[in-house]
Every structure is written in structure tokens, then in C-alpha cells.
Chain A
Amino acid sequence: MDEQFAVEMQDIVKTFPGIVACDDISLQIRKGEIHALLGENGAGKSTLMSVLFGMYQPESGTIKVHGKPVHITGPRDATALGIGMVHQHFKLVECFSVVRNIILGSESMKNGILDLKTARKRIMELSDRYGLAVDPDAIVSDITVGMQQRVEILKTLYRESDILIFDEPTAVLTPQEIEELITIIKGLAAEGKSIVFISHKLDEISKVADRVTILRRGKKVATLNVAETTKEEMSELMVGRKVSFTVDKGEQQLGETVLDVKNLVMRSRTSQKNIVDDISFSVRRGEIVCIAGIDGNGQSETIYGLTGIMPIQSGTITLNGKDITKADVRTRNLSGISHIPEDRHKYGLILDYSLKENLILKNYFKPSVQRYAFINWDKAETYSEELIEKYDIRTTLGAKTSARSMSGGNQQKAIIAREIEENSDLLIAVQPTRGLDVGAIEFVHKQLVAQRDAGKAVLMMSLELDEVMDVSDRVLVMFEGKIVADIDPKKTTIQQMGLYMAGVKKEEQHA
């Protein structure tokens, strides 16, 4: 009764300085199944898959592919064995066309000349067969994130991979794109491909996966049939305690206005179009206001305009009664803005700095850690250790862990800790829970509500509709640069929200 698995990983151990990232993990992937990998931030999911893809060499353990013991020393070996990986941070050459990106590294030649024609034909065949719509001649920098991901998938299919690893593929996608991806993945499995799917979103896992393996702190906890389990069971196994999916909010105590935006207009650098088109709104103490909308309708730009990262065209921004329209970023921060940025690697962290250095990014010049222009590194260290403790940031070497080596979710927690500790009157939180596990999401939501209850103003931006509905007190829906609705989530359904977001429905007083 020897079932042949596509992949068998047996007793894998992989350590990094200070931590056992994979502690004796065994994992079996059946042929043609979609196998989800679930676990807290830093549980070792990415590491385990990097071992399978040959990026890391395990200290011990064996790997079998299609029943044969193999030794994978690098991604080239993995590719040769039919293993493909879709990284969430895409690895595409921006200035190349889609076709050239796909064949890069496995170009076929005809009389010593690159044979683009045949390659293009094959790619189109693959694209039709799996429903991966791409424009083969488009330049990568011009296409959407969703299409870039499809290019990455085609890349693995072009190399005839039959074992596909997706590391948090949905974290960067819009809800619409996620639906498309799920259909694609199911199609791939139906064709007999074996799939590993890493995600923090339990709904997605329930929808797409056949089995799920749960990791906790480097150890395997269980492998379950998705059909026979529940969201609650999965999250409890993963975090080791019950997780609440609803956000507990007390009665709202509205205070005076903190942020007041009037007639804000922003233009893109390349076109004369208004990306943010004459919007006005305000946020008061004691409320969580959420900017919602389909990605690309001016939400991100609005935030960059408020925080001073992008210049604005016209309008006024007032914070606590003070006009900060022309103020620089530092002045805005000091006047009371904290900002959890959308793009954590670009803005939120200096990856080559240690965690400690990153945690003082907003207050290294304040008397708490600075004296006579010198930084007191001992104080910075103590402060960091407090934050690590309070916000449960999992590190390998404590305050001196390099930010780059931390798992994605823990990087996010570090930013959240830094910004909330600033104790500003206005907390701007953009996609605050992107990439976080359910336990951490619960924690962040609690923190946001705590800020609100402490009489702070919270301005959130999120693409997750559930989060928008659960956490916020008021939702501003943006469509094509305008605020088309200002709604109370308690009195609105997700369906109605969807209509506003699609621009089908408009509220009169805002038109």
C-alpha cells in the first residue's frame, strides 16, 4: 500500500543563527493535489519551500521527488526535477517583453539565433490551455501585478514543471485577481500538477486546497483534509489558542476633528490626469475611518499626499487645526502623524539596518535616545527589547537581528510597533495586516481599536473588504480619484459596497 507522492520531504531540519527554522518537518504532497501550507509568521513556511527549491541546504533530512531520492543543490536542480516556484516578489526583467521574460534562462536557439517565434507559439498554447491571459508582447513594467504573476506561472510551466510552489501568491492581489488565480490554480491541479499553496487567508485555503499542513514555530503540527476541518480548528492548531474573527469594539466616543482635508487634488507625474480629484473629508478623535476601493483609484496617492511623500497639486490639509499643507514630512510626523506604509520594503524598513536601528527610525533624534547629537545605543536597545516583547516580534537574535533576515510578517509587526508607539494623534495604517497570520491580525485590529478608544484618530486603507467592514466606523469609497460614498459599515452590505467601488452607484451629496 505504497502511495507514490509527487514530493516527500522527510525529517527536514534547517537552522539559522539563533533559530531552528524547520525542526524535523515531514511533508508529503500527493500527485495532483493542492496542498496548503499554513503557519504563523516566522513558522518556517518560506524556509521549508526554499529548501525544496534548492535555495537552502537542510542540515538533515531527505527529499524524494516522484519516489526517487534526490539531492537538490540549487534552483537549477529543482527546475530539472520539474519543481517551479512563484515568488511573491516577482523576478521579472522590467524592460523585457513577456515572451522574453518567460524564456529567459531556457532560450531555444535556431542556427545560433534566438528562436522567438517557436517560443511565442508555445507560450500562447500554454496560456490558452491554462487560462493564463497574458499579452506576450507587452513590456513587463506596463502590465498589472496580476498579469505579472501569470507571467511567473507561465515561466514555471514553460520549464515543464509539474510541482508548483506558490509563496503567498494572493497577498499582493486585489480580490478580483484572487478569484482568477484560484480558478487558474484549480485548473492546473486538474491537469495533474501538484501544488503547494502558502497563505494566511483561511477562506482561500478552504476554497482552494485539498489538504493543509500546519506549522508552528518550525514544527509540523498536523496535516488535515480541508473538507473535514474548520477555520476555527485550523487557526487554533496554528496559533495554539482560540482566535477571534470578530473585532470587539466598544461604544464610540467621537471627539474633535484631527485631520481635515479640503479639495485635495493630486496629479500623476506622467499624465495630466487627476489621480486624486478634488476630495474633502475629515477624521475625528475616536473613530476609525477607512478608505476603500478597488486598487488604483487614488487611495495610495491620497495617503502619500497626506504624509508628504508625494507633492499635491492643490487643496489644504489641516491637522489639529494647524495647516500642514506645505509642511515637510518630518514636521508632519512631529505634528502628530504616524504612518504604517503600504510598501514595507520600500518605505517601512531599511533592510540592511538591524531591527533596533529600524525601531528608532522615527525617534532617533528625540531625547529618549539622543543626547548632544549622539545616539545612545544602550537606550535604543532597551527600547527595542520592550517593543519586541510587547508586540511579540519574533526574531532570531533579538534587537540586533537584521531586518532583512526576519520573516515578512514579523517585519510588518516591527513597523506597526514603531508607529503605534509614536503615540500620534493620527495613525495612518495602510494595509496594516498584509502578510500577517490570523493571530497577528487579531492583535493588530485590537491595537487599532485601542488607539481609537484612547481618543486617537485612525485613518486606514485596506483592500480586504472583511477588514474594512469589521474594523472601521466609517468607510469612504474611492472611485476614479473621487470619494463616491461615505458610509456606515453597520448599515451597509458587502454587496452594496461592491457597487460603490465599481462606480455603479454614487451617493448624491458627494457627487
Chain B
Amino acid sequence: MLKRKRSLNTDSLAALSASVLAAIVGLLLALVILLICDAKNAWPGFLTLITGGIREGGIKAIGDILYQAMPIMMCGAGLAFAFKANVFNIGGGGQFLMGSFVAIYTAIKWEFLPGVLRWIVPLIVAALSGALWALIPGLLKAYRNVNVIISTIMMNYLARYLVNSLIKASIYNVTTGQSKSIPAAAKMPTLGLDKLFPGSSANIGIFITIAVCIIIHIILNKTTFGYELKACGLNAAACKYAGIREKRTIVVSIMISGALVALGGALLYLSGSGRNIRVYDTQPTEGFTGISIAILANNSPLGVILSSLFISFLTIGGQYIQSYGFVKEIVNIVTSSVIYLSAFTLLLRVFFDSAARKRQAKLSHTESEKGVTT
């Protein structure tokens, strides 16, 4: 028993060190970009980046980091869940938008709800909407074998234009060109985090998100459903053989994934920080950042907590670099290259690892199946 625990730890340690290495590579690239743009200010700018702006922003920056981490953490957890089942859900953007819209709509329109239900119900309804939205590509995959990557990307566009017209038809604020703001009554409680981190928008959502990550971790590692889900991700044919209903597993996994991503959108807008949905053509970035976060965490829900905090930390740090004369666009390039490069480095590593492992396995276990030739 003791031995088992130890080996588990060394496994996750190896994964963690890979992620840390990937992050360092990403940071080095950021430094290079800063040096190219403005060599003189590059170093102080870099220091700000890697201290998360806490030097400049102090306690507020910490609150901002928590607030920024919340939606992307939820997205990362949702996407990691689907990735474990080998369902490549790229539809985070669309699911996030659906969740955001439904949350704002119910927060504004369902005034009849009493007390805390004013924000709890919108969260739940938003999650349901994300699940339903993801149900479509799930069914297409399970029963028509439509590639999930393609169908979810298409669903992203559908969601964007659907949400745009729904906002215009119901909760449009003509002067700002955005959705209306949620009423104060539907705002999520801050649980004193506004006092702890004055000036930031941190609220109960971060706790909800961390709790969800832990629950997802338990589902994946301790339950029969998690066992089935990972098995389907690793070897669908063996699942069929074992009588695991892989179609159902695929559909359920992408629905849960969609629900969590949508919940991420709902948390962001129910924070009541003054942000509203803009009616325009691009996808919300959280869906894609969520992919990087999941990859950086090696699809581990607990790892998602760390990787999303790391990325939020960089984003906030990046905002403070502007004081060194770097324009906003440069700052965006820097932070996004760290995010994507770290994810990319890790992806490469995973890729090389599995290629090497397959090669080795083929050599050391030669007797194997016949009839795999088709």
C-alpha cells in the first residue's frame, strides 16, 4: 500500500516537472520578444511578468489573478475531462458563449427567484445549456462517427451568431453594443474576498471552481464511470469487448465537458465586474486558453488548478508591463506566446514520449495481434 502511493507520486512528479519545463521554455521566449521590442526595458518588464504584477499591483493583483483564473480553470477542467475520453472538444468557445448568454439572460429576466437562487439558478441553467449544446457533436460522433474536432468548431460559429441574435432580441444594450449588465441581486457573493483583496473582483466562483476540479479528479480516478471513460479514451475496441457502452460514454463525457465550460462563462459574467458580452464576430478566447491549460496540466484536473493560476498570473503580470512602455499588442503577444508555447512544448513531449514508448513496446512485445492490418 505504501509502495503504491509512492509510485503514484513519482508519476505525477514526472508529469509536473515536464509541465514546469514547458512553462520555462515559454517564459524564455517571452524574454526574447521583450528584448527584441525594447532591449532597455525588457528586463524590468520581464520581472514584472514573472512576479504577476504583485510588485506593482500589490494585494489587488492577487485578487485579480484569482478572478482571472476562475473561468479559464473551469474551462480547462471541462476540456481535460473530454480529452481523457479521447474526445477532442474544440467547442469550448461556443459552449462558453452559450453558458454566458443563458446565465445573463436568466439573471436579468428571472426576477421572481428569491435570494441566493438569483445567481445559483442561472449557474445551473447555464451548465445545462452547455451540456445540451455539446450533446449535438456528441451524438454526431457516437451515432454518425462525425469527427468531433470539426463538428465542435462548426458549433462554435453557430453559437456565436445564435448568441448575437438572441442578445439583440432580448437583452441588448443599444448604446454600448453589448448585452445588458446583470442586476446587483444576481451577482455572486464575494465572501469577503473584496475586503481581502480590495479593488479586485474575486468572488465565491474561485472556490466553486476549485471544488469542481477536485470532484472531477475523484470521478476520473475513483469511480466506475471514470474507469470506463479513461478506458474508452485509451482503447475503444477493448471497451466494446468488455461491454462498456462506449457511445454513451462519449456522449456523457462531452456533455459534462460542455456543461463545465458553459459554467465557466456563467461564473465570469455573474461576477458582475462590469463585463458584458460584446456582439461581434470573434470567439471568446477562454475556449482556446482552456485547451492550453488542459494540455499544460497533462489533462489532470488537479493540475488544471495550478496551470490556470499560472496563466492567470502571467496575464495579470502582462497587464502591468504596459507601464514600461510596451504597447498592449506586444503584451498580448508576449503572454499568449508563453501560454501557447508552453502548451505546445508539452504536447511535443507527450508526443515524443508516446512515440518512443510505442517503438519500445513493439520491440519488446513482439507477439501480438494478427489481423490488425486493415
Contact surface of A with B, Cβ cutoff 8 Å: 46-47, 50, 53, 55-56, 85, 87-91, 94, 140-141, 145, 148, 167-168, 171-172, 198, 300, 307-309, 328-334, 339, 341-353, 357, 361-362, 364-365, 370, 373-375, 377-378, 381, 397, 400, 404-409, 411, 434-435
Docked Cα-Cα span, A346 to B357, in Å, equals 17
Complex interface residues of chain B between 34 and 85 (CB less than 8 A to chain A): none
Surface stretch bound by A, among B147-155, B179-187, B237-245, B280-288: B237-245
Residues of A near B231 (CB, < 8 A) are: 350, 353, 361
Docked Cα-Cα span, A140 to B227, in Å, equals 36
Residues of B near A198 (CB, < 8 A) are: 366
Docked Cα-Cα span, A12 to B66, in Å, equals 56
Please determine whether B238 and A348 come into contact, CB atoms closer than 8 angstroms. Answer: yes
Residues of B near A333 (CB, < 8 A) are: 242-243
Of A334, A375, A411, which is within 8 A of B365 by CB?
Answer: A411
Please determine whether A364 and B224 come into contact, CB atoms closer than 8 angstroms. Answer: yes
Shortest Cβ gap from A370 to chain B (Å) = 6
Residues of A near B357 (CB, < 8 A) are: 404
Q: Can you name 18 A-B pairs with beta carbons within 8 Å?
A: A47-B364, A53-B363, A87-B366, A328-B243, A330-B245, A333-B242, A333-B243, A342-B371, A344-B369, A349-B235, A350-B231, A350-B238, A351-B361, A353-B231, A365-B224, A374-B224, A375-B227, A411-B365
Closest to B358 in A: A404
Given A141-B373, A346-B369, 11 extra CB contacts under 8 A = A53-B363, A308-B243, A332-B243, A345-B372, A362-B243, A373-B224, A374-B223, A375-B227, A405-B364, A408-B368, A435-B368
Please determine whether B364 and A343 come into contact, CB atoms closer than 8 angstroms. Answer: no
Contact with A along B206-242 (1 / 0, CB 8 A): 0000000000000000111101001100110110111
Residues of A near B366 (CB, < 8 A) are: 46, 87-89, 167-168, 198, 408
B1 at the binding interface (Cβ < 8 Å): yes
Please determine whether A171 and B367 come into contact, CB atoms closer than 8 angstroms. Answer: yes
Residues of B near A377 (CB, < 8 A) are: 222
Residues of B near A342 (CB, < 8 A) are: 369-371
B144 at the binding interface (Cβ < 8 Å): no
Please determine whether A404 and B363 come into contact, CB atoms closer than 8 angstroms. Answer: no
Contact surface of B with A, Cβ cutoff 8 Å: 1, 4, 7, 222-225, 227, 230-231, 234-235, 237-238, 240-245, 357, 359-374
Of B1, B234, B365, which is within 8 A of A407 by CB?
Answer: B365
Please determine whether A88 and B367 come into contact, CB atoms closer than 8 angstroms. Answer: yes
Residues of A near B237 (CB, < 8 A) are: 346-347
Residues of B near A91 (CB, < 8 A) are: 362
Please determine whether A373 and B371 come into contact, CB atoms closer than 8 angstroms. Answer: no
Docked Cα-Cα span, A343 to B371, in Å, equals 8
Residues of A near B359 (CB, < 8 A) are: 55
Please determine whether B1 and A345 come into contact, CB atoms closer than 8 angstroms. Answer: no
Docked Cα-Cα span, A94 to B373, in Å, equals 7
Of B238, B245, B363, B374, which is within 8 A of A347 by CB?
Answer: B238
Given that A46-B363, A361-B238 are contacting pairs, would A88 and B222 also be in contact in the complex, using a CB cutoff of 8 Å? no
Docked Cα-Cα span, A2 to B359, in Å, equals 37
Please determine whether A357 and B369 come into contact, CB atoms closer than 8 angstroms. Answer: no
Residues of B near A349 (CB, < 8 A) are: 235, 238
Given that A346-B237, A347-B238, A362-B242 are contacting pairs, would A408 and B367 also be in contact in the complex, using a CB cutoff of 8 Å? yes
Please determine whether A345 and B225 come into contact, CB atoms closer than 8 angstroms. Answer: no
Residues of A near B364 (CB, < 8 A) are: 46-47, 50, 55, 405, 407
Residues of A near B362 (CB, < 8 A) are: 87, 89, 91
Docked Cα-Cα span, A411 to B245, in Å, equals 24
Docked Cα-Cα span, A41 to B222, in Å, equals 33
Residues of B near A344 (CB, < 8 A) are: 368-369
Shortest Cβ gap from B224 to chain A (Å) = 5
Docked Cα-Cα span, A406 to B7, in Å, equals 17
